[in-house]
Amino acid sequence: MSAVFTGFGQKAIPFLKALDFHQNREWFHENRDLFEKELREPLGDLVETLTERFGAAGLGLRGDRKKSLFRINRDVRFSKDKKPYNTHVSAILSPDGTKSDLGVFFFYLGLDACFAAVAWWQPDAALLQALRRAIETRPAEFRKLVAALGKGGLEFGTQGAMKRMPRGFEHVVDADLAAAIRNRHFVVRQTIDPADIHTPALADQLAAFAVHARPLLDWGRAIQGSVAPQ
**Mean pLDDT computed over 92-120:** 97
Rounded to an integer, the average pLDDT of 5-20 is 97
- Residue 230 predicted with pLDDT over 90: no
Q: What is the pLDDT of residue 80?
A: 83
Q: Given this model, what pLDDT does residue 77 score?
A: 82
Confidence band (pLDDT; 50, 70, 90) for 227? confident
Query: Which residue spans within the chain are E strands per DSSP?
Result: 88-93, 104-110, 114-120, 186-191
Report the alpha-carbon distance of residue 34 to residue 7 in Å, rounded. 15
Percent of the chain clearing pLDDT 70 (strictly above): 98
β-pair partners for 186: 120
Task: Please give the backbone phi and psi of residue 189, each rounded to the nearest 5 degrees, phi first.
Answer: -145, 160
Left if phi > 0, otherwise alpha if psi is -120 to 50, otherwise beta: which for 102?
A: beta
pLDDT value, residue 16:
98
Please state the rounded mean pLDDT for residues 144-156. Answer: 97
- In what order do the strands lie in the sheet containing 88-93? 88-93, 104-110, 114-120, 186-191
Per cent of the chain over pLDDT 90 is 93
193: three-class secondary structure by DSSP: coil
Q: Using N-to-C axis directions, what is the helix angle for 201-212 and 41-57, rounded to 10°?
A: 40
- Residue 1 predicted with pLDDT over 70: no
What pLDDT is recorded for position 78?
A: 81
Q: What are the pLDDT digits (tens) for 172-221? A: 999 999 999 999 999 999 999 999 999 999 999 999 999 999 999 999 99
pLDDT at 226: 86
Mean pLDDT of the chain: 96
The mean per-residue pLDDT over the stretch 160-174 comes to 96
Dihedrals φ, ψ of 108, to 5°? Answer: -140, 125
Integer Cα distance of 33 and 38 in angstroms: 8
pLDDT tens digits for 49-88? 999 999 999 999 999 999 999 999 998 888 888 899 999 9
Q: In the prediction, which pLDDT does 229 show? A: 64
Residue 23 pLDDT more than 90? Answer: yes
